[in-house]
Amino acid sequence: MKLHASGEDYLEAILVLHKKTGMVRSVDVARHLEVTKPSVCHAVATLRDGGFLTMDSDYFLHLTDVGREVAEQIYEKHRFFTERLIAAGVDPATAERDACRIEHVISDESFQRLKATSEQKS
């Protein structure tokens, strides 16, 4: 199943929240992404049907191995571009917004080359 940017954002949010608190419910995702609970419910159903996450009997969300892999890749891109933009003098809030857009459109090949080039310069 091919994910849209919004699906990737939900997976990334679940990953980030899980790293912070250890447990994630739909309401936490709604607050984090500043979206409505019905939007989260729809996204969760789609992601669950796609095999990216599960929900336990207490309504906690858990990424599957596939979901975690996608979320980690998106989160890595997000951190990379946020850090580079801030280092270039971009306001942190703008850097966050721009990184969120870039992370969805850049190819894996381009990202890996940029990352390798950046590591060589370090």
Identify the burial level of 46 via C-beta atoms within 10 angstroms of its C-beta, where 0-12 means exposed, 13-18 middle and 19 or more buried.
middle
Same domain, 24 and 9: yes
Same domain for 33 and 83, yes or no, is no
Average pLDDT over residues 29-33: 97
Residue where a domain stops, chosen among 64, 86, 107: 64
27 in the same domain as 9: yes
> The domain that contains 108 carries what CATH number?
1.10.60
Dump pLDDT digits (tens) for 58-110.
Answer: 999 999 999 999 999 999 999 999 999 999 999 999 999 999 999 999 999 99
Residues 81 and 95 grouped into a single domain: yes
- Residue 22, CB half-sphere, CA atoms under 13 Å: how many? 0
Give the Cα separation of 55 and 92 in Å (integer): 34
Q: Which residue has tokens 């990424």?
A: 63
Coil, strand, or helix at residue 2? coil
Domain residue limits at 97:
70-121
| Rounded Cα distance, 44 and 54, in Å | 9
> Do the beta carbons of residue 53 and residue 67 sit within 8 Å?
yes
Which contacts (CB < 8 Å, 24+ apart) does range 117-120 have?
118/80, 118/84
In the chain, the number of structural domains is 2
pLDDT of residue 120: 85
